[in-house]
Chains A and B, each alone.
Chain A
């Protein structure tokens, strides 16, 4: 729509030029347009300022460490040597653990809600699951400390060490002393937090799959499950991928729940039962006390890295989800 005024009035000349602008102005539409445009532009301004501040304030750290920042493992405030590797590792590992738990659970639930459940139950249950998405992060942290950590410590940790820990290669992931806090615990808490997103988006995407596809599969003799798993889900593949990316982006940026259960130890370790650290958690813990400009700058550079990670993932997620909703997926 163009911004011309649509009024039923004598369309008096002139039609363009400054006098016409002033005339249009008096009609108020131009003002309304300008006002709303200004507010919309304010969003652009805020976001650019955000990126700008991150970039400028991390200058000291970027200048000193350069690209080495990404794979230096030390985080030493005394000798002013900072590296992002343990935090990037922790952020990625906890998020991947969260996805490994949440994706099967979420996808299965979404399938149930879109394919099997009667409409009323499906609506009611997804309503409740949407409520789960509204629970604040610090409450998850609270439950993490008092429920999940003791559970890990007393039952789940030893169980994992004694079962999966004994398997040849995989066992390294579940080795070592059982602290209760650590990558795995954080992964569990994150999984609970992102599952509603996967369910919500996947369910919507699955609902857009045309009925004909399901019916065609059933007509060929497939069971309900085969029709779902071999036809419907692949059709909605890209949208589901999008929901996973969305969940991943959310998990990467999660701060409070993670910092309360991860153990706050900037180390890279093969064992998931070992304490670790994420970018968001270290910023939360150390920002107010980073004595020294280089220290603060390193923390802000971490913030910049996190921002970039979530930026890329969110972008990909949107593309995938929109692609599915518009064109409908195509089976391979």
Chain B
């Protein structure tokens, strides 16, 4: 073994290991870059007007995104109502009741649904909800988002239910509880922390989705009463304003981006911190 080779190997070692550190550092710094940019550009444009005004006619300044903020909230509410119960129940089924083959089929299908590009889900919602009634609606947008919520909720519900030790279940049964009573009064409450955070993460994920809303919820320059009218939403407004030439619109897009990202990151931060006290949540 000559010394030259040893020195080479040792220096290669140091270089490569440093590079991996650099790689990790640069990835993390991208996150801070994004946040920094948004705070820098968006923070300046956050104003009282932004939160309370409706959009102004093209070219006029002073407009805001009040209707888009409310719109996003309404859409999320619908997505929650449509998607969370399905996800929860299916997760309970997979964890507690499922047979071998049927569970496999359900899990496979859920993964499949998870991987469907959001624009394709938009097409589906368009043909199912928009076409038959012939108008764009909050309902259609909420439906599209609801479908996207389901796979994430199923996965996390099942994981957290499975994490509950069998001893807890057996104890309940030993006291005479039937299976469903065990699930409802012992297992679910025990896993509720994890399940709820899983749901919140799912909602945070779809809050930022734009593509499926483009031809379901469409957009609206005014308030959207009820559930059957088109509705504005933060992501769609960001998109519309970002590709336009008006500087005022660009500023509003930054501000909206900051608001959206802020809410999404807060939700994620809160959930993950809560969960990390016991267990991990994988983002994929």
A and B touch in the complex (CB under 8 A): yes
Binding site for B on A (CB under 8 A): 1-3, 5-8, 27-29, 31-33, 35-44, 46-47, 49-50, 53-54, 57, 104-106, 108-109, 111-113, 115-117, 123, 125, 127-139, 141-143, 145-147, 192, 195-197, 199-201, 204, 223-226, 229, 246, 249, 252-256, 260, 280, 283-284, 287-288, 300, 303, 306-307, 310-311, 313-315, 318
Q: By the criterion CB–CB under 8 Å, are A42 and B90 in contact? A: yes
The answer, yes or no, to whether B13 is at the interface (CB within 8 Å) is yes
CB A323 to nearest CB in B, in angstroms, measures 15
Q: By the criterion CB–CB under 8 Å, are A306 and B27 in contact? A: no
Residues in B with CB closer than 8 Å to A27 are: 178
- Identify 13 residue pairs between A and B in the complex whose beta-carbon atoms are under 8 Å apart, listed by A's number: A42-B86, A54-B120, A131-B31, A131-B265, A134-B268, A134-B283, A136-B209, A138-B238, A143-B37, A201-B282, A307-B117, A311-B115, A315-B112
Given contacts A44-B109, A47-B112, A131-B269, contact A260 B242 (CB under 8 A): yes
Query: 12 new A-B pairs (CB below 8 Å) besides A37-B97, A109-B23?
Result: A7-B176, A36-B89, A42-B86, A43-B154, A50-B121, A108-B22, A138-B257, A142-B242, A287-B215, A288-B215, A307-B120, A315-B112
| Bound Cα distance from A141 to B260, whole angstroms | 14
What are the interface flags for B1-41 relative to A under an 8 Å C-beta threshold, 1 for contact and 0 otherwise? 00000000110110011011111101110110010011001
CB A174 to nearest CB in B, in angstroms, measures 22
| Bound Cα distance from A261 to B114, whole angstroms | 25
Given contacts A47-B113, A139-B238, contact A306 B283 (CB under 8 A): no
| Bound Cα distance from A143 to B260, whole angstroms | 14
Top 5 closest pairs, chain A to chain B, by CB: A136-B208, A253-B117, A39-B89, A36-B93, A108-B23
Q: Which of B51-93 contact A (CB under 8 A)?
A: 85-86, 88-90, 92-93
Q: By the criterion CB–CB under 8 Å, are B238 and A142 in contact? A: yes
Closest to B237 in A: A138
Given contacts A36-B96, A138-B239, A287-B214, contact A143 B34 (CB under 8 A): yes
CB A185 to nearest CB in B, in angstroms, measures 15
Q: By the criterion CB–CB under 8 Å, are B123 and A303 in contact? A: yes
Residues in B with CB closer than 8 Å to A43 are: 86, 90, 106, 109-110, 113, 150-151, 154
| Bound Cα distance from A286 to B265, whole angstroms | 32
- Which residue from A33, A49, A104 sits with its C-beta under 8 Å from B128? A49
Residues in B with CB closer than 8 Å to A53 are: 123-124, 127-128
Q: By the criterion CB–CB under 8 Å, are B173 and A109 in contact? A: no
Q: By the criterion CB–CB under 8 Å, are B120 and A306 in contact? A: yes
| Bound Cα distance from A43 to B276, whole angstroms | 29
| Bound Cα distance from A147 to B16, whole angstroms | 30
Q: By the criterion CB–CB under 8 Å, are B178 and A33 in contact? A: no
| Bound Cα distance from A318 to B102, whole angstroms | 18
Residues in B with CB closer than 8 Å to A226 are: 9, 13
Q: Which of B101-140 contact A (CB under 8 A)?
A: 102, 105-106, 109-124, 126-128
Q: By the criterion CB–CB under 8 Å, are A300 and B123 in contact? A: yes
Q: By the criterion CB–CB under 8 Å, are B239 and A260 in contact? A: yes
Closest to A201 in B: B284
Residues in A with CB closer than 8 Å to B154 are: 43
- Which residue from B85, B120, B239 sits with its C-beta under 8 Å from A141? B239
Residues in B with CB closer than 8 Å to A115 are: 20
Residues in B with CB closer than 8 Å to A200 are: 282-284
Q: Which of A200, A225, A249 has the most CB of B within 10 A?
A: A225
Q: Which of A197, A256, A288 has the most CB of B within 10 A?
A: A256
Q: By the criterion CB–CB under 8 Å, are A108 and B31 in contact? A: no
Q: By the criterion CB–CB under 8 Å, are A116 and B20 in contact? A: yes
Q: By the criterion CB–CB under 8 Å, are A50 and B124 in contact? A: yes
| Bound Cα distance from A311 to B112, whole angstroms | 6
Residues in A with CB closer than 8 Å to B37 are: 143, 147
Given contacts A35-B89, A43-B150, contact A256 B210 (CB under 8 A): yes
The answer, yes or no, to whether B190 is at the interface (CB within 8 Å) is no
- Which residue from B17, B94, B261 sits with its C-beta under 8 Å from A116? B17
Closest to B243 in A: A260
Closest to B85 in A: A39
Residues in A with CB closer than 8 Å to B85 are: 39
Q: By the criterion CB–CB under 8 Å, are A108 and B19 in contact? A: yes
CB B127 to nearest CB in A, in angstroms, measures 5
Q: By the criterion CB–CB under 8 Å, are A29 and B178 in contact? A: yes
- Which residue from B20, B98, B116, B215 sits with its C-beta under 8 Å from A108? B20
Q: By the criterion CB–CB under 8 Å, are A137 and B269 in contact? A: no
Given contacts A50-B124, A197-B284, contact A125 B264 (CB under 8 A): no
Residues in B with CB closer than 8 Å to A249 are: 115
| Bound Cα distance from A177 to B205, whole angstroms | 38
Residues in B with CB closer than 8 Å to A1 are: 97
Q: By the criterion CB–CB under 8 Å, are A46 and B178 in contact? A: no
Given contacts A46-B147, A310-B117, contact A112 B23 (CB under 8 A): yes
Residues in A with CB closer than 8 Å to B246 are: none
| Bound Cα distance from A28 to B214, whole angstroms | 44
CB B251 to nearest CB in A, in angstroms, measures 11
- Which residue from B38, B97, B120, B204 sits with its C-beta under 8 Å from A36? B97
CB A230 to nearest CB in B, in angstroms, measures 11
Q: Which of A135, A139, A246, A283 has the most CB of B within 10 A?
A: A139
